């Protein structure tokens, strides 16, 4: 056990080290979205989903609320919370693999996870919802296949995995049901980070089920566990006030499914482009994971199937909206790392096998170093942001937020055309409408029913002191033409900052 604890400490240290370049990274627009919702909820400025549109479930908002309340109202608090969450995720990955194949394999898994989940090419130095899913998903797998021996303990398996054969009766069946329920509970929490994580509820019960009734029993226990966190959150919104629960259900399911379904046009091209860009970095990890899948069939316990099911559910979630944004690939980091570690650490380190393991591990480390080392040499967070996202907007947002505060010292409401929610958080001003991004009005997502009138009323509201054009208005769009007219009538230009026009009420 002493070796196991040392490996765990090493895993945590590696995670912190790999993510250090992201410590001073400015918020991106998604991070700004969650932070704004958390900030406004804490201040009583509005409840997410009812008062502010948000497509994702609330776990990211809850984490940001805890960070802001406990650590203070700044970006550093959010970065600290993200680092702590990723360290806990690495510990969960270590715990899962160490309980299957020993502390050494667990350390390799944590190392691979730390490297893959921090790759700048998939925006890993930021902290997004895909990274939030790793901790509860690793714990879900541990509930199912990782509790047969203590982490790092040598020797054979002490008990029966729920994926193995054997009679399904009596106390053993009750024990299995409890495991599936607990695993489902963890998957439900992962789904509160991002909805596609819930696909694991369908994938995980299939491996090792000898009969349809056994698969159904497992699926039922898992589904009941997965439902529990959602019922708790639904109860929270039901108690929060009229319309809060309805807004939560519509935004997270109704509107979000429409958004996801709209992305299939041009999906093949986006998938090929993403594969071409990321293959040099993720290809060796995928290959090692496939080899690990074969290696995991040898020991007792039958855990090849559930690990593969985790990977398949993550891959299905990645492609669900067919948009293939870089950060979507972060959901693959944990299952790939777990499977790859079983092959890299599981074989004899001599002969041709050792050479192959060393070659793949070297390719993984070289890819991470090539992608990540420039961020260690970068002069500041702004330079890192420009490299990672290929644009200036996030790096310049803090300066723009200062200009916004100077434009309206009385602290009125802020109206933004564009998708730069980080400006709301950084300026500390309350949004003038419930639309923190312009997607519902540009064709990138389905039109929000009655949203145009709401957006226009935000401009006309006398409490709105500052308006920001973070993107150009299209005069051929009736709504955007009306917005331009209202802005010209009620506001005057103040300054330009970060490529954005800042205007104040006349």
End position of a domain, from candidates 377, 402, 428? 377
End position of a domain, from candidates 344, 377, 410? 377
Q: Does residue 165 fall inside a structural domain?
A: no
Q: Does residue 383 fall inside a structural domain?
A: no
pLDDT tens-digit map of 195-207: 999 999 999 998 8
3-state secondary structure 382-404: HHHHHHHHCCCHHHHHHHHHHHH
pLDDT value at residue 30:
96
Q: Does residue 386 fall inside a structural domain?
A: no
The DSSP code for 252 is I
- Cα separation, 4 vs 326, in Å, equals 34
How many domains does one find in the chain?
A: 2
- Cα separation, 29 vs 22, in Å, equals 15
Let me know: does 415 contact 427? Beta carbons within 8 Å. no
pLDDT value at residue 3:
66
- Cα separation, 424 vs 22, in Å, equals 21
Task: Tell me the H-state helices in 2-74.
Answer: 2-19, 29-43, 59-71
- On the CB side of 31, CA atoms within 13 Å amount to 25
pLDDT value at residue 269:
85
How many whole angstroms from its chain centre is CA 72? 23
Q: Does residue 305 fall inside a structural domain?
A: yes
Q: CA of 10: how far to CAs of 4, 18, 82, 100, 372, in Å?
A: 10, 12, 19, 18, 20
End position of a domain, from candidates 377, 402, 436? 377
**List of residues 6+ apart from 124 with CB closer than 8 A:** 22, 116, 117, 118, 131, 327, 330, 333
Tokens for 198?
A: 């819930």
Q: Does residue 135 fall inside a structural domain?
A: yes
DSSP three-state, residue 365: helix
pLDDT value at residue 134:
98
Considering the domain architecture, whether residues 346 and 468 belong to the same structural domain is answered as: no
Considering the domain architecture, whether residues 415 and 346 belong to the same structural domain is answered as: no
pLDDT along the chain (506 residues), means of 10: 76 92 96 97 94 94 98 96 96 93 91 96 96 97 71 38 44 75 97 96 86 88 97 95 94 84 74 89 94 66 80 92 90 96 80 84 94 94 96 95 94 95 97 93 86 95 96 95 96 94 96
E-strand stretches of 344-439: 413-417
Q: Does residue 399 fall inside a structural domain?
A: yes
Considering the domain architecture, whether residues 42 and 184 belong to the same structural domain is answered as: yes
413-417 vs 491-497, strand pairing mode: unpaired
**In sequence order, what DSSP letters do the residues of 269-330 get, joined into one string?**
HHHHHHHHHHHHHHHHHHHHHHHHHHHTTSSTT--HHHHHHHHHHHHHHHHSSS---GGGGG
- Cα separation, 181 vs 200, in Å, equals 13
Considering the domain architecture, whether residues 327 and 370 belong to the same structural domain is answered as: yes
- Cα separation, 82 vs 122, in Å, equals 16
- Cα separation, 133 vs 125, in Å, equals 16
Closest C-alpha to 93, from 150, 136, 130: 136
Considering the domain architecture, whether residues 197 and 97 belong to the same structural domain is answered as: yes
Identify the helix (H) or strand (E) that includes residue 187.
Answer: helix 170-191
Around Cβ 420, how many Cβ atoms within 10 Å?
A: 27
Considering the domain architecture, whether residues 183 and 328 belong to the same structural domain is answered as: yes
Full residue range of the structural domain in which residue 491 is found: 393-505
Q: Does residue 499 fall inside a structural domain?
A: yes
Considering the domain architecture, whether residues 334 and 399 belong to the same structural domain is answered as: no
Residue 469 pairs in a beta bridge with: 417, 501
Considering the domain architecture, whether residues 295 and 196 belong to the same structural domain is answered as: yes
Q: Does residue 261 fall inside a structural domain?
A: yes
Q: CA 298, 300, 304: angle at the middle one, nearest 5?
A: 60
CA dihedral defined by 271, 272, 277, 282, rounded to 10 degrees?
A: 70
**List of residues 6+ apart from 137 with CB closer than 8 A:** 186, 187, 190, 197, 200, 310, 314, 334, 335
Scan for tokens 């698969």, then name that residue.
215
Identify the helix (H) or strand (E) that includes residue 450.
Answer: none
pLDDT value at residue 209:
75
Considering the domain architecture, whether residues 435 and 365 belong to the same structural domain is answered as: no
Considering the domain architecture, whether residues 419 and 323 belong to the same structural domain is answered as: no
Considering the domain architecture, whether residues 473 and 343 belong to the same structural domain is answered as: no
Considering the domain architecture, whether residues 284 and 144 belong to the same structural domain is answered as: yes
pLDDT value at residue 433:
94
């Amino acid at each position: 056990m002493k070796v196991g604890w040392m490996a765990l400490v090493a895993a945590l240290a590696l995670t912190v080290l790999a993510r250090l370049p992201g410590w001073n990274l400015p918020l991106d627009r998604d991070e700004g979205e969650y932070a704004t919702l958390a900030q406004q909820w804490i201040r009583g400025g509005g409840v997410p989903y009812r008062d502010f549109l948000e497509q994702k479930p609330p776990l990211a908002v809850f984490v940001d609320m805890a960070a802001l309340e406990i650590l203070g109202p700044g970006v550093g608090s959010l970065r600290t919370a993200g680092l702590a969450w990723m360290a806990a995720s690495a510990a969960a990955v270590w715990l899962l693999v160490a309980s299957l194949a020993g502390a050494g394999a667990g350390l390799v898994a944590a190392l691979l996870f730390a490297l893959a989940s921090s790759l700048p090419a998939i925006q890993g130095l930021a902290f997004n919802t895909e990274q939030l899913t790793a901790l509860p998903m690793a714990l879900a797998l541990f509930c199912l296949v990782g509790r047969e021996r203590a982490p790092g303990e040598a020797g054979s398996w002490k008990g029966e995995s729920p994926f193995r054969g054997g009679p399904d009766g009596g106390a053993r069946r009750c024990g299995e049901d409890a495991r599936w329920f607990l695993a489902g509970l963890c998957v439900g929490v992962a789904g509160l980070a991002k909805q596609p994580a819930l696909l694991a509820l369908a994938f995980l019960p299939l491996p090792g089920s000898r009969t349809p009734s056994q698969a159904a029993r497992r699926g039922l226990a898992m589904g009941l566990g997965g439902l529990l966190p959602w019922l708790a959150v639904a109860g929270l919104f039901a108690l929060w006030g009229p319309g809060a629960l309805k807004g939560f259900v519509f935004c997270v399911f109704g509107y979000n499914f429409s958004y996801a379904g709209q992305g299939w046009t041009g999906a093949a091209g986006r998938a090929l482009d993403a594969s071409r860009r990321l293959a040099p970095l993720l290809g060796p990890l995928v290959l090692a994971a496939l080899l690990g899948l074969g290696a995991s069939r040898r020991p007792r316990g039958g855990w090849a199937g559930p690990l593969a099911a985790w990977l398949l559910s993550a891959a299905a979630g990645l492609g669900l909206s067919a948009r293939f944004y870089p950060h979507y690939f972060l959901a693959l980091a944990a299952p790939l790392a777990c499977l790859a570690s079983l092959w890299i650490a599981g074989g004899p380190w001599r002969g041709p096998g050792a050479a192959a393991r060393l070659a793949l591990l070297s390719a993984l480390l070289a890819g991470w170093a090539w992608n990540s080392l420039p961020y260690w040499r970068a002069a500041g967070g702004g330079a890192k942001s420009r490299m990672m996202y290929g644009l200036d907007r996030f790096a310049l947002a803090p300066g723009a937020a200062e200009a916004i505060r100077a434009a309206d010292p009385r602290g009125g409401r802020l109206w933004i055309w564009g998708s730069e929610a980080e400006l709301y958080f950084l300026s500390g001003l309350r949004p003038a409408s419930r639309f923190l991004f312009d997607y519902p009005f540009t064709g990138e997502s389905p039109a929000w029913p009655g949203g145009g009138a709401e957006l226009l009323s935000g401009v006309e509201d006398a409490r709105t002191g500052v308006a920001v054009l973070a993107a150009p208005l299209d005069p051929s769009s009736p709504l955007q033409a009306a917005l331009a007219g209202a802005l010209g009538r009620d506001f005057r230009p103040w300054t330009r900052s970060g490529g954005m026009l800042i205007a104040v009420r006349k």
